[in-house]
Amino acid sequence: MEHGLGIAWKSVSKTYNDGTVAVNNVSVTADEHRTLALVGSSGSGKTTLLQMVNRMVTPNSGTVLIQGQDNQGMNPVTLRRSIGYVLQNGGLLPNKTVLDNIATVPVLQGTRRKDARVHALELLDEVGLEKSIQNRYPSELSGGQQQRVGVARALAANPEILLMDEPFAAVDPIVRRNLQDELLRLQSEIGKTIVFVTHDIDEAFYLGDKVALLRPGGTLAQVGTARELIDHPADSFVASFINAGCLRSELQ
């Protein structure tokens, strides 16, 4: 990793108002142009960590550095427009067509709607969708198509960083594998800094250049490549989390 680039969480903690400790003193980095997979069961704080990057969540303590800059000093609206975000259900705006959904962020940034649509049409192709669906509304798409549109929208403003929050969790296994392969292909072309949240250790190993495994209660269990985690699990928690995943994929 080139020093200081990418995203660095420095001793961040977050306790929500209801007293839930989501993240407890986590330090981890997402290297530039690489994919960091944040994996853990529910309540392990992975989504909270992800949302600290675009300031949807503010840590109670610690800092998040983006390209070496503390993101607390950045304007949240500008920051969010500069970061691609893909959600589980696609997070598409139901009242906009496919093309206008993809064009959303460039238009917010001041690109002329006509130009943004032309670019959106190119992106449809890039994420493997037919141009014929451009004027449909999200409710007229399949789950897999919605996710692809979600990815296209996240890429539209050509962000350096892509945040993906369990983007493929709601689609069936075959479509999911398809989308994962396409993401790998796309990433080999565009080389974004991706933070990918998942509860599925196999998905984390498959997509992540680096995997950060979190424990319930929001502490970091281990960070490393898939190889490192499999060969040298830090403790019994890591070993059992990985084994459970392996067992599941054998059963499938």
Q: Which residues of this chain interact with other proteins, rule CB under 8 A?
A: 51, 54, 56, 76-82, 85, 87, 89, 91-96, 104-105, 108, 136-137, 139-140, 153
Closer Cβ to other proteins, 87 or 121, answer by number: 87
> Token pair for residue 47?
């989504």
> Quick check: 64 and 53 in contact, CB under 8 A?
yes
Minimum CB separation from other proteins for residue 141, in Å? 10
Closer Cβ to other proteins, 100 or 200, answer by number: 100
Closer Cβ to other proteins, 102 or 238, answer by number: 102
Minimum CB separation from other proteins for residue 29, in Å? 22
Return the H-helix or E-strand segment holding 221: strand 219-224
Report the distance separating Cα 119 and Cα 131, nearest Å.
12
Return the H-helix or E-strand segment holding 96: none
> Quick check: 53 and 7 in contact, CB under 8 A?
yes
Report the distance separating Cα 230 and Cα 219, nearest Å.
19
Minimum CB separation from other proteins for residue 119, in Å? 16
Minimum CB separation from other proteins for residue 103, in Å? 11
Closer Cβ to other proteins, 6 or 138, answer by number: 138
Minimum CB separation from other proteins for residue 49, in Å? 15
Minimum CB separation from other proteins for residue 72, in Å? 17
- Give the type of residue at 154: A
N- to C-terminal Cα distance for the chain?
A: 36
Report the distance separating Cα 83 and Cα 54, nearest Å.
7
What are residue 194's DSSP bridge partners? 35, 162
Report the 10 Å Cβ neighbour count for 131: 12
Closer Cβ to other proteins, 73 or 94, answer by number: 94
Closer Cβ to other proteins, 151 or 213, answer by number: 151
